[in-house]
């Protein structure tokens, strides 16, 4: 079964991965292990999950401005999410993606979803991100 969502690409790109969703914001510094891709904020609902390679949907980032550096390091190590979805333009996500392209020529698509589309997301299906902002969710 497939479902199509139209999102706005902030940093366009193509990616594929399992969808991982939380309605709770996250600080990547102190919340994401840049060596393993594990979510380590022990007060976060996704604590203990490995987000590496997933299409990660979070409403926005909270907390530290070092979130960008942590995300960039995760890109270098190879444990970053495959793409990032949020409910508004998140400057930490966008900046990490811009610098990742500058330093490593790696793509980390960042997209903004309408609130009602974001709220309807649930972890599980695989998500394919298109350059124009289309997201195809496939449930097996």
Partner 1 sequence: MPLELTAADRAMLDGEGGAAMQTAMSIVAQMAEVQGAGELLDITQAHIDATVYVGDAGLEFAERLAGQGAKVAVPSTLNVGALDEHHWHEWAVAPEWAARARRQMHAYESMGTTPTWTCAPYQTVHRPTFGEHIAWGESNAVSFANSVIGARTDFYADMLDICCALTGRAPAAGLHLSENRIGRLLLRLVGVPKKVQQDDSFFTVLGYVTGRMAGNRIPVVEGVLGEPDEDQLKALAATAASSGAVAMFHIIGVTPEAPTCEAAFHGRRPEEILDITMDELRRARCELTTADGAQLDMVVLGSPHLSIGEIKRLLLLVEGKRAHPEVEFLVTTSRAVAHLAERSGAMECLRAFGARVTVDTCILTTPMLPEGVRVLMTNAGKFAYYTPGLLSREVVFSGMEDCVRSAIEGRVVVEDRLWKN
Q: How far apart are CA 77 and CA 50, in angstroms?
A: 14
Binding mask 10-39 for partner 1 (x = CB under 8 A): xx-------------x-x-xxx--xx----
Interface stretch with partner 1, choices 14-22, 55-63, 113-121, 129-137 (CB under 8 A):
55-63
Site for partner 1 in 61-100 (CB under 8 A): 61-70, 72-73, 75-77, 88-89, 91-92, 94-96, 98-99
CA 12 vs. chain centroid, Å, equals 13
Quick one: DSSP state of residue 73? Answer: H
Using the 8-state DSSP alphabet, how is residue 71 labeled? H
Are the beta carbons of 94 and 69 closer than 8 angstroms?
Answer: no
* Helix or strand holding residue 96 (H, E): helix 91-104
Q: Taking CB under 8 A as the rule, does residue 106 contact partner 1?
A: no
Query: Does 50 contact partner 1 by CB under 8 A?
Result: no
> 23, 64, 65, 123: which one is catalytic?
64
DSSP 50: B
Strand 110-112 versus strand 8-11 pairing type: antiparallel
List residues binding partner 1 (CB under 8 A). 10-11, 25, 27, 29-31, 34-35, 40-43, 47, 59-70, 72-73, 75-77, 88-89, 91-92, 94-96, 98-99, 102-104
**Could you list the active site residues?**
64
């Amino acid at each position: 079964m497939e479902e199509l969502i139209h999102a706005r690409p902030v940093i366009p790109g193509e990616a594929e991965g399992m969808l991982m969703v939380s309605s709770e914001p996250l600080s990547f510094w102190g919340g994401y292990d840049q060596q393993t891709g594990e979510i380590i904020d022990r007060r976060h609902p996704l604590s203990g999950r490995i987000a590496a390679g997933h299409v990660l949907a979070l409403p926005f980032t909270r907390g530290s401005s070092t979130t960008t550096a942590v995300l960039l390091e995760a890109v270098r190590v190879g444990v970053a999410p495959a793409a990032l979805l949020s409910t508004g333009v998140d400057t930490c996500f966008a900046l990490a993606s811009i610098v990742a392209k500058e330093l490593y020529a790696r793509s980390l698509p960042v997209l903004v979803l309408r609130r009602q589309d974001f709220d309807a997301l649930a972890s599980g299906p695989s998500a394919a991100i298109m350059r124009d902002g289309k997201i195809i969710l496939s449930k097996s």
